[in-house]
Amino acid sequence: MTVFTNYEFFFRFFPIFLVLYYILPRKWQNPLLFVGSIVFYSFGQLRFMPLLLGLTIFNYVLACTQQKRMDNKIFKRRFLTLAVTVDVFALFIFKVLALSIDGSWLPLGISFFIFKMISFQADVYMGKICKKANFFSVAAYFTMFPQLTQGPIMRYDDDVFNHPRKFSLVNLELGLQYFILGMAMKVLLADRIAILWNEIAKIGYESISTSLAWLGAYGYSFELYFDFWGYSLMAAGLGVMLGFPFVENFHHPYASKNIATFYRDWHMTLGSWFRDYIYIPLGGSRVSGIKIFRNLMIVWAITGLWHGGTVNFLIWGLVLGLIIALERFAIGGLLKEVPAIGRFEVLVIIPLTWVIFAITNLGDLGIYFARLFPFFGIGEAANPGDFMKFFGIYWGYFAASVLLLIPGVFALFTKKIKGPLGSIQKLVTLALFLVSLYYVSNGSSNPFLYFSF
């Protein structure tokens, strides 16, 4: 039930929860959100529920201890260090167990709820959270089920979590609209294009043509984007229905002017987390050029390892760090004078970096790049006509994906439209929901990709 596209979640758990959430006295909203989130989590990974509860209580107690001694910076620093050390150790040990034994040792959503806990501790230390927080407010923030398994990594806000939230038909409609659009992205685009990437792997990278290799690179780019953007919209929509502000996690990254901007618009809450809690404490951009370069490479190395413990993820992070450093120190002026170069980077280099992200075996990765750039020479493709076969099957999904990359097209589905066009918008949204449900009912929906991180 920890998958939002599950019938049990959408037709049983969430409707019942939503009714209770608004008919019970408002002072019970945060306790109910906490309990409901624990129930939600237990349906997916009951054995790791004590870990989630234990870390929640531990981080709350240490934050309260910090707040009692706000005037003693050394005391506060010690408790911040203790909290962060325990949180990071828990994340590290389970990542290692998952990598060395099997993936079942990775608690669902551990990266996301631990990053929330660390940001909470740091914000208490820096005085951004001044009021002594109520336990259920903090526990609801750490565990709230719309964000528990894949984020977004929302920041704690006293005004948001310490004030009751009123039911609103406007919020309900808007939240449903976001949820349905995200569900359609996941089920109708990401899951369908994922079949192409799986088929390429079955054929064998050494046997595919160069044109199919490029089609696969763009296919995986679309799969990952609409899978995670879809989840983010679903999570944000659920939050809006519960009275929380909309949390934007993607802002049309493929319309960005360069790769640095791309990653400010991609997984925005994770990017801002790394900026605020790693990059800036290292000195950020207020230091010499050499140290800025060092800071960038540290952040991107950690970003790569956060996604996975295999070497390809580290390579992926370091490659992006080098490209962003190159944009900053060497070609920034050229990118301003010739914007087309930055657009080229986003539309051509980004898909190539996703290939590094996707293929964990370095030998297979080398073969795939040799197919992308055949002058490396690994022999002829077994079936040079494979591109037309697969393009004929998937061209419609690619066309829909390209259209949704255009900000104006996406806005047609989300902005409030009145009159006849508004009615058409609602009918299209309903149709997307019904078709998505059809695919879900036939078992045609895959787990979200970021469950693995």
Measure the CA–CA gap between 2 and 44, rounded to whole angstroms: 5
Question: One of 163, 251, 252, 307 is an active-site residue; which one?
Answer: 307
Residue 67 half-sphere exposure, CB side, CA atoms within 13 Å?
Answer: 17
How far is Cα of residue 397 from the mean position of the Cα atoms in its chain?
22
252 part of the active site: no
Omega before 152 within 30 of 0, i.e. cis: yes
| SS3 per-residue string spanning 80-102 | HHHHHHHHHHHHHHHHHHHHHCC
Residue 98 half-sphere exposure, CB side, CA atoms within 13 Å?
Answer: 22
Buried b (16+ CB within 10 A) or exposed e, 365-380: bebbbbbbeeeeeeee
Which residues are designated catalytic?
307
